[in-house]
Amino acid sequence: MLRWTVIFLVIALIAALLGFTGIASGAAAIAKIFFYIFIVLFLISLIAGGFRRS
């Protein structure tokens, strides 16, 4: 999931440098959504892993 975030972030940066602001904002929004999903899944796995050990 984090790899997709980085991919869309790079796409957004390249599009912004080339002047495609619409594509850049869309790719940045997708990267932000993937990042939040990654954080939520990471926290859930940390909490679930903590209950398995005890």
**Per-residue pLDDT tens over the stretch 9-37:** 899 999 989 989 898 899 999 999 999 99
Q: Quickly state the pLDDT bin for 54 (edges 50, 70, 90).
A: low
Q: Quickly state the pLDDT bin for 52 (edges 50, 70, 90).
A: confident
pLDDT the model gives residue 4: 84
Angle, helix 21-53 to helix 2-18, in steps of 10 degrees? 160
Question: What is the number of domains present in the chain?
Answer: 1
**Per-residue pLDDT tens over the stretch 31-51:** 999 999 999 999 998 898 877
pLDDT the model gives residue 50: 73
Range of the domain at 19: 2-53
Sign, CA dihedral 8-11-16-21, equals negative
